[in-house]
Chain A
Amino acid sequence: VNDAVVIGAGVAGLTAAMRIAEAGGRVLVVAKGIGATHLAPGTIDVLGRVDGEPVERPLEALGRLGAGHPYARLPAGTLAAAAEWWRGRFADGPLAPYAYTGTVEASLPLPSPVGAVRRSALVPETMAAGDLRRGEPLCIVGLRPLRDFHAPYAADNLARQGYEARAKVLDLAPEPRPDVNSLGYARAFDDAAFRDRVVAELRGRLAPGESAGFPAVLGLRRPHAAWDDLERRLARRVFEIPTLPPSVPGMRVFATLRERLRRAGARVILNATVTGAERAGDRVTGVRVKVAAREVVHRGDWIVLATGGFASGGLELDSTWVAREVALGLPVHGVPGRGESRFAPGYLDEQPMARAGIRVDDGLRPLGPDGTRAAENVLVAGALLAGAEPWREGSGDGISLGTGFHAGGIVVGARSEAVAV
């Protein structure tokens, strides 16, 4: 029997699993496929905006989010501890010296792929020099065959907001392919010969003191070396800006967490869809998983549910507006009922559906409609939680890291208590 079965292989699930495995617990991760790491920018954004106002010090603003927000479930100090843990995973991880920098106390304003300002708490070292507070002139470097990043568009938008920014687009292709994406460039940037070509193209075309912002494709296997090499040879600050998927910084996150999880002895099964729960009283004793030819049951003392929200398929909504949590069938909270408003007119307005999800108590246990616990040994983490609106708040992956870290800590605590008894 596993100490924990973790469902989902995104930031929340992998974080919870790794904390438990690192403490010596037997962990099984089951997931339908790879999680959202490959789609997200690879930054931990704790809180960028509340009530439409930018937030520079996320921890101080958490109180303004309200009691229904997932952050309100975290004991004081959790986010700071989770941030330290996260930096530590990379500091001696398989991609080291590639490292994370930043704190949850003060966030960094960084350019987004379209040249908007995004505030991130923890960022790869390769993005940190994009800090717009520096006030340095920026040259956004595009790569013409890479259709997932438009340097002139980003530069124009930055300039419109008062930053000194221009674009320079290079005609460099890594190899002849019909469909070049960030992955192909990341492989190329791992190669010193390709970096030579980039440096040669840019030499003499950058103004003194200008920082160079590249799409986030500066290496997959040795990103620190690629970035450091460009900074030294271009003799200026170089930084990465996230791209459309696949997200290379996100792939670095996955590679690091996956390898460390393997080293910690956890098991990971992909292509395994959870179809239901085995229950005994108020506990879930195992999860039913559909694999080749049959369904199998994986048993665990704890079940950590981190399957994501509607976008990741953890929640489904049918044509009669009935929402379903697909893995364990937990009650879904916050779906507008019959006669209630279901959509707001503007795409980026607060949508009535946005905060739907699983409501939990302070121990991350799922709650039923009447506010009582729906299961004693199930912990819910990540984007599946009700009460957040990550894309408006700028809390993406902050919620996943914080609640995944907390969920892992709950299991670790319960195990050591059991040993002590």
Chain B
Amino acid sequence: MSEATGVLGDLMRGTLDHCVKCTICETFCPVSNVTPLFPGPKYVGPQAERFRVQDEPSFDASLDYCSGCGVCTQVCPQGVHIAEINTQARARMKETKGVPLRDRVIARPTLAGRLGTPVAPLANAALEAKPLRWAAEKTLGLHRDAPMPKFAGRTFQGWARKHESPSAARRVAYFHGCGANFYEPDTGEHTVAVLEHNGLQVEVPRGQGCCGLPLQSNGLFDDARTYVRRLTAKLAPAARAGTAIVGTSTSCTLMLKREAIEILSMEDDADLQVVSEHTYDICEFLLGLHDEGALRTDFRELPMTVTYHAPCQQQGHGIGKPALDLLALIPGLTVIENDATCCGVAGTYGLKAEKYPIAMKVGAGLFQQIREAKPELAVCDSETCRWQIEKASGVKSVHPVELLYRAYGLA
């Protein structure tokens, strides 16, 4: 049974009765603002949900054009869980209509990572080869121009197994996610260095896999729950020992904090509960250290201009933009805050052939802002957004922790 069930599932769905049809969500929806193919969050959410009957097929295909960015829930003044209702309804729809092979493949980044890493040069060449990308578009429906990360050819876990973190009174556990593990091990290594520079002993729980978010977004709820259980089983011992779990993948930390509970209705899962309570986005965690006077501020001057884009999923944490406060501590650094809502890619959404043009339209404003600012780097907390920004704007994109790493002189 793939559907959302249980008391919390009912409560999420029940919030649709708070909808007063004010359409505030539609004015903010990045997708319906650029394409009529998606009628908007209110229309497919609180409105259409009234016509969906439990245990009966659901056919409204327009729902699949929701990118799952979650902005609708963030802006709703009435507390309607619009994005959650839509994601659950999409899972029911996909149960009726079936899930394409493509969605099953791109929803499993660990599988791709494990297959691609040993043969990285070959795999990277294949991802850049135009005829192969053309073929992948025709056969699988993966857009030929969609941003694909490069396999690093090594894993962060491999590095971490050999790395000995100096012992310290205060410990943190690092949740690296698939992005840092297979594609950006530098981000993981630099995060560990920044944490250690601040006197923290960093443990990296072994065998961390995917958080299940891509499976959830693609409507594969049962598989997503399996992934959540597998990952939280690895992270729960640290949480039970009272250790904070910090992550650099902002959408994956949000998955552990809230989405797996609210969308997959896993509120009764003991491992997830304790992991959720102890999970922090890395910038949230570091700013917390700063608030208690425990963050080192021995920053070197970093005379450069960067832009900062807060991804939709980062905004879902409800923590504001801690990266901006951290970057403001670095002398010489000029940060231009982008005021765009979304880069368009929304995880796997922008990879799909039929959705890629929409994703590019959604992100157009952001890309233009970045290009016009002529920054040395475009800073952003989410890896899939960074890949999208890099590909579309031509500006190299990094996680905020990368600038802290450089300003601490750890490079």
Q: Is B198 on the interface with A (CB-CB < 8 A)?
A: no
Q: Nearest CB to that of B322 among chain A residues?
A: A267
Binary contact track A19-40/B, C-beta < 8 Å → 1, others 0: 0000000001001111110110
Complex contact B75–A33 (CB within 8 A): yes
Q: Nearest CB to that of A258 among chain B residues?
A: B339
| With A33-B78, A34-B77, A39-B22 as contacts: A178 and B27 at CB distance below 8 Å | no
Q: Is A289 on the interface with B (CB-CB < 8 A)?
A: yes
Complex contact B27–A32 (CB within 8 A): no
Give the distance in Å from the alpha carbon of A269 to the alpha carbon of B36 in the complex. 29
Give the most central of A187, A262, A270: most B CB within 10 Å.
A270
Give the distance in Å from the alpha carbon of A269 to the alpha carbon of B325 in the complex. 14
Give the distance in Å from the alpha carbon of A35 to the alpha carbon of B24 in the complex. 9
Give the distance in Å from the alpha carbon of A36 to the alpha carbon of B320 in the complex. 21
Q: Is A246 on the interface with B (CB-CB < 8 A)?
A: yes
Complex contact B317–A181 (CB within 8 A): no
Give the distance in Å from the alpha carbon of A259 to the alpha carbon of B369 in the complex. 15
Complex contact A293–B77 (CB within 8 A): no
Q: Nearest CB to that of A268 among chain B residues?
A: B320
| With A259-B339, A292-B257 as contacts: A38 and B319 at CB distance below 8 Å | no
Complex contact B339–A272 (CB within 8 A): no
Q: Is the interface of A mostly helix, strand, loop or mixed?
A: loop
Give the most central of A28, A268, A272: most B CB within 10 Å.
A272
Name B339's contact: one of A262, A267, A313 (CB within 8 Å). Answer: A262
Binary contact track B310-333/A, C-beta < 8 Å → 1, others 0: 000001111111000000000000
Q: Is A204 on the interface with B (CB-CB < 8 A)?
A: no
Binary contact track B247-282/A, C-beta < 8 Å → 1, others 0: 000000010111000000000000000001101000
A155 → chain B closest CB, angstroms: 25
Residues of B within 8 A of A38 (CB): 22-24, 27
Q: Nearest CB to that of B276 among chain A residues?
A: A293
A308 → chain B closest CB, angstroms: 8
Complex contact A293–B27 (CB within 8 A): no
Name B23's contact: one of A32, A183, A267, A289 (CB within 8 Å). Answer: A183
Name A293's contact: one of B23, B258, B321 (CB within 8 Å). Answer: B258
Interface residue tally for chain B (C-beta within 8 Å): 35
Complex contact A312–B77 (CB within 8 A): yes
Give the distance in Å from the alpha carbon of A228 to the alpha carbon of B33 in the complex. 24
Binary contact track B13-41/A, C-beta < 8 Å → 1, others 0: 00000000111101110000100100110
Interface residue tally for chain A (C-beta within 8 Å): 38
Give the distance in Å from the alpha carbon of A183 to the alpha carbon of B36 in the complex. 13
Residues of B within 8 A of A245 (CB): 21-24
Complex contact A178–B24 (CB within 8 A): no
8 Å CB contacts to B: which residues of A294-316? 294, 296, 312-313
Q: Is B337 on the interface with A (CB-CB < 8 A)?
A: yes
Q: Is A179 on the interface with B (CB-CB < 8 A)?
A: yes
B337 → chain A closest CB, angstroms: 7
Complex contact A33–B26 (CB within 8 A): no
Q: Nearest CB to that of A148 among chain B residues?
A: B23
| With A38-B22, A39-B22, A262-B339 as contacts: A289 and B33 at CB distance below 8 Å | no
Give the most central of B23, B256, B317: most A CB within 10 Å.
B23
Give the distance in Å from the alpha carbon of A196 to the alpha carbon of B252 in the complex. 47
Q: Is B76 on the interface with A (CB-CB < 8 A)?
A: yes
Give the distance in Å from the alpha carbon of A292 to the alpha carbon of B256 in the complex. 10
Complex contact B320–A246 (CB within 8 A): no
Complex contact A292–B258 (CB within 8 A): yes
Q: Is B124 on the interface with A (CB-CB < 8 A)?
A: no
Give the distance in Å from the alpha carbon of A16 to the alpha carbon of B391 in the complex. 41
| With A33-B77, A34-B28, A183-B26 as contacts: A267 and B320 at CB distance below 8 Å | yes
A242 → chain B closest CB, angstroms: 14
Q: Is A281 on the interface with B (CB-CB < 8 A)?
A: no
Q: Nearest CB to that of A259 among chain B residues?
A: B339
Complex contact A293–B26 (CB within 8 A): no
| With A177-B39, A271-B316 as contacts: A292 and B254 at CB distance below 8 Å | yes
Give the distance in Å from the alpha carbon of A290 to the alpha carbon of B315 in the complex. 14
Q: Nearest CB to that of B78 among chain A residues?
A: A313
Residues of B within 8 A of A181 (CB): 23, 26
A230 → chain B closest CB, angstroms: 23
Complex contact B26–A267 (CB within 8 A): no
Complex contact A32–B258 (CB within 8 A): no
Q: Is A273 on the interface with B (CB-CB < 8 A)?
A: yes
Q: Is A251 on the interface with B (CB-CB < 8 A)?
A: yes
Q: Is B79 on the interface with A (CB-CB < 8 A)?
A: yes
Q: Is B73 on the interface with A (CB-CB < 8 A)?
A: yes
Q: Is B43 on the interface with A (CB-CB < 8 A)?
A: yes
| With A269-B318, A270-B315, A273-B79 as contacts: A178 and B39 at CB distance below 8 Å | yes
Residues of B within 8 A of A273 (CB): 79
Name A271's contact: one of B39, B73, B339 (CB within 8 Å). Answer: B73
Q: Is A175 on the interface with B (CB-CB < 8 A)?
A: yes
Name A177's contact: one of B27, B36, B76 (CB within 8 Å). Answer: B36
Q: Is B74 on the interface with A (CB-CB < 8 A)?
A: yes
Complex contact A34–B24 (CB within 8 A): yes
Binary contact track B76-92/A, C-beta < 8 Å → 1, others 0: 11110000000000000
Q: Is A291 on the interface with B (CB-CB < 8 A)?
A: yes
Binary contact track B57-101/A, C-beta < 8 Å → 1, others 0: 000000000000000011111110000000000000000000000
Binary contact track A156-190/B, C-beta < 8 Å → 1, others 0: 00000000000000000001111101010001000
Give the most central of A33, A175, A177: most B CB within 10 Å.
A33
| With A38-B22, A246-B27, A262-B337 as contacts: A313 and B77 at CB distance below 8 Å | yes
Residues of B within 8 A of A175 (CB): 36
Residues of B within 8 A of A313 (CB): 77-79
A4 → chain B closest CB, angstroms: 15
Complex contact B337–A293 (CB within 8 A): no
Give the most central of B24, B74, B76: most A CB within 10 Å.
B24
Name A269's contact: one of B33, B79, B320 (CB within 8 Å). Answer: B320
Complex contact B74–A33 (CB within 8 A): yes
Give the distance in Å from the alpha carbon of A246 to the alpha carbon of B27 in the complex. 7
8 Å CB contacts to A: which residues of B130-179? none
Give the distance in Å from the alpha carbon of A398 to the alpha carbon of B115 in the complex. 63
Give the distance in Å from the alpha carbon of A269 to the alpha carbon of B320 in the complex. 5
Give the distance in Å from the alpha carbon of A274 to the alpha carbon of B279 in the complex. 21
- With A38-B23, A271-B315 given, name 18 new contacts (CB 8 A): A33-B76, A35-B77, A36-B77, A38-B24, A177-B36, A177-B39, A245-B22, A259-B339, A262-B337, A262-B339, A269-B319, A270-B75, A271-B316, A271-B318, A293-B257, A293-B279, A313-B77, A313-B79
For the complex of A and B, list the 10 residue pairs with the smallest distance between their C-beta atoms, beginning with the closest: A291-B318, A33-B77, A293-B257, A271-B74, A292-B258, A292-B257, A177-B36, A269-B320, A272-B318, A246-B23
**Could you list 28 A-B pairs, sorted by A, with CB under 8 Å?**
A28-B320, A33-B74, A33-B75, A33-B77, A33-B78, A34-B24, A38-B24, A178-B39, A179-B40, A179-B43, A181-B26, A245-B21, A245-B22, A246-B22, A251-B27, A259-B339, A262-B337, A269-B319, A270-B74, A270-B315, A271-B73, A271-B315, A271-B316, A272-B318, A289-B318, A292-B318, A293-B257, A293-B279
Q: Which residues of A contact B (CB under 8 A)?
A: 28, 31-36, 38-39, 175-179, 181, 183, 187, 245-246, 251, 259, 262, 267-273, 289-294, 296, 312-313
